[in-house]
Amino acid sequence: MMATIAFGTAGAAEIDLGQLPHPSTGPQTAPVTMVEFSDFECPICRRIEPELEQLRQSGGERMRFVWVDFPLDAHHHAMLAADAARCAGEQGQFWPYHDALMSGRESLGAQNLTDLAARLGLDSTKFNSCLAERKYQGQIESDMDLGDRLGISGTPTIFINGSQYSGVQSLGDLKAAIDHAAKEAPASPDFEQSSRAARGEQQ
């Protein structure tokens, strides 16, 4: 269960994720927490996804990544896609489902969302029932309310230890932001060193 993420840095946002679990990777004790407010139908979100995927894969014990749904009203399929991804998460497949949607190769229509679940090997009966009842719509709406309270108006919006970054961000910019956040935390090696260790590379 996840509650408030409060950061020690002056001026950092306090992000209350409520009592329901959010999709995340990395240890809860990591010195750096990245929270992404995102939308499966957002072209900019898809554009920066390769950079975020690289950070998730190379963060090791150093970084925790938390996904928060923020489907925009202008994106008519985004709410249903968010619900579908959470339904996939019930079967331990949120991230593979997320990755497929963020690739931009998948249509977000209802039939395509259920077809994708089947292709990923999910139990179709359970998935389709979950999606039909819009099981996670209430939680997604709570995420949207949180984004509104934080003043978020577009996606992607990223918080790294409470500091906000919006729109297109390069891999270098994000690594620099993570390095800066880590240096504010006690006894944290630099991000590049941590990334090389996670990949098994020589320093």
Over residues 169-173, the mean pLDDT reads 89
Q: What is the pLDDT of residues 77-92, one digit of tens each?
A: 999 999 999 999 999 9
Cα gap 200→141, rounded to integer Å: 41
Over residues 169-195, the mean pLDDT reads 73
4-186: CATH class? alpha beta
Q: What is the pLDDT of residues 49-63, one digit of tens each?
A: 999 999 998 888 889
Number of H-type helices and E-type strands within the chain? 8, 7
Give the three-state DSSP class for 101.
Answer: helix
pTM, 2 dp: 0.83
Retrieve residue 105's tokens. 């190769």
Percent of the chain having pLDDT more than 90? 64
Cα gap 124→120, rounded to integer Å: 10
Residue 31 has pLDDT above 60, yes or no: yes
H or E element: which one contains 89? Answer: helix 78-90
Domains of the chain, residue spans: 4-186
Task: Please report the pLDDT score of residue 59 as a whole number.
Answer: 81
